[in-house]
Homo-oligomer: A and B are copies of this chain.
Amino acid sequence: MKEMFGSPGKVSGLALRIGQCSFAAASIGTMISAPGFFNSTAFCYLIASMGLQVLWSFGLACLDLHALRSKRSLHNPVLVSLFVVGDWVTAILSLGAACSSAGVTVLYSKDLGYCNSPPHLPCSTFQISVALAFISWFLLAVSSLVMFWLLGAV
């Protein structure tokens, strides 16, 4: 198996996982701080999906850290297959959550005009949360592609 950027048990892989975890946590924090987010199913789904991503990325970051400290290789076909499936499921759920929230945010701010007229929703907070979710998804997509590539190159 080739050694490449972002593969498990490397510093770049660990950095990607920490980035995913922090941006997802920041997205949840921003969304929870916006009053009235619970009126929209898409925003609740965003929080659930980002929560799953925090758990998954944090777990893999711990595994990467362990592998780095004990200098063990994580390039085991079974382990990589597990990472691939988990990464892909999480990435698709995250993209779905980010896109549905983006759709609702655009509807509120542009189509319905709920930001400047009553009920005066905090659209900028929603937008920041969606942007953070997209950044987190992008980092996860990089990891997923690297994992799938590693699996294909076995």
Residues of chain A touching chain B, judged by Cβ–Cβ distance below 8 Å, are 39-42, 45, 92, 95-97, 99-104, 106-107, 110-111, 148-149, 151-153
Identical chains bound together, number: 2
Q: How far is the CB of A148 from chain B (nearest CB, A)?
A: 6
Q: Which residue of B41, B100, B148 contacts A100 across the interface (Cβ within 8 Å)?
A: B100
Closest 5 CB pairs of A and B: A152-B152, A100-B103, A99-B99, A42-B103, A96-B99
Whether A39 pairs with B104 at a CB distance below 8 angstroms is no
Contacts of A92 in B (CB 8 A): 95
Residue of B nearest to A93 (CB): B99
Cα A110 to Cα B104 in complex, Å, equals 13
